[in-house]
Amino acid sequence: MTATLIDGKAIAAKVRAEVAEGVERLVAERGIRPGLAAVLVGDNPASHTYVRMKRKACAEVGIESFGFELPATASQHEVESLVRDLNARDDVHGILVQLPLPAGLDEEAVLSAVGLNKDVDGFHPMNMGRLAQKGREPLFVPATPAGCIRLLEETGVKLSGANAVVLGRSNIVGMPVALLLVRQDATVTICHSRTKNLPDVVRSADVLIAAVGRAQMVKGDWIKPGAVVIDVGTNRVDDPSAKSGSRLVGDVDFDQAVGVAGAITPVPGGVGPMTIAMLLQNTLRAAQNSA
Ligand code: GUN
């Protein structure tokens, strides 16, 4: 058996086209062009690349983006002041603070300074808290977890009653995606470095979300035949046969898993493109809400 490939690139393109249409309508009907402010502190090269990609994607759907760079030596007060200034701007509908912040800065305090109505990353403790509470609705859902759920929806996966296993418990992916799965009535197990008999637990999954950041950790014989596998990992590994000398792989051993799973996301081209598409969708929603 060979798994169906879940084409994140194509699904992300569909989301981006929906956003572009929504932006056009908001500009035409209300004279409001959505604006996203990207705050980048320090010189983490990966963070610079991500912010560049996000700003380019904004331009492609008609969202205005504003870049703000602070040095790694910026004080807590400087970062929070910038965020507060952005909260007050009418042309900024969404604020994203690229993570991780340099050591020494209080991430929770910075994220708490983002206005709830502009929290397009969904990382404000209030939005995360609402995500965890029955009967409450966050204003925004974090982009990567939302992208995972959209991929499952587009694939026609029934989540109600399914056994879902989430590998990883980060604030950015593992925990919020687990909460979203619970909201879809899945039975959810969250695994981490202390989980016992990990391969056995993973083998119980009808739906597996791998978000641990360990290259090719999940082997083919960990996967239940026919399971749906969403691989959030993007790990760079040496590959002498590649021109650059390296290539990206997921947290799942794709070559093994593709023979066992029912459906699987590739890396690259699976979850990655969805993250940016869902951020654009959140930014459009923030601007619509402001109208
Ligand atoms: N760092 C890794 N993923 C993300 C994300 O989705 N948003 C922000 N702001 N920082 C990140």
Question: How many angstroms separate the alpha carbon of residue 275 from the centre of ligand 1?
Answer: 9
Q: What is the CATH number of domain 142-273?
A: 3.40.50.720
> In one letter, which amino acid is 36?
L
Pocket of ligand 1 (CB under 6 A): 96-99, 121, 143-144, 172, 275
In this prediction, residue 68 carries a pLDDT of 98
What are the residue boundaries of the structural domains of the chain, listed by start?
30-116, 142-273
Among protein residues, the one with the nearest Cα to ligand 1's atom 11 is 99
Q: Which of 53, 97, 98, 111 to mutate to test the pocket of ligand 1 (most atoms within 8 A of CB)?
A: 98
- 224-247: pLDDT as tens digits: 999 999 999 999 999 999 999 999
CA distance 32 to 91: 8
Which portions of the chain are predicted below pLDDT 50? none
CA distance 291 to 289: 5
Q: What is the CATH number of domain 30-116?
A: 3.40.50.10860
The 3-class secondary structure across 212-272, one letter per residue, is: CCCCCCECHHHCCCCCEEEECCCEEEECCCCCCCEEEECCECHHHHCCCCCEECCCCCCHH
Q: Which of 40, 47, 50, 105 to mutate to test the pocket of ligand 1 (most atoms within 8 A of CB)?
A: 50
Spatial neighbors of 245 by CB under 8 A, at least 6 apart, are 238, 239
Question: How many angstroms separate the alpha carbon of residue 100 from the centre of ligand 1?
Answer: 8
- 29-65: pLDDT as tens digits: 999 999 999 999 999 999 999 999 999 999 999 999 9
pTM of the model: 0.97
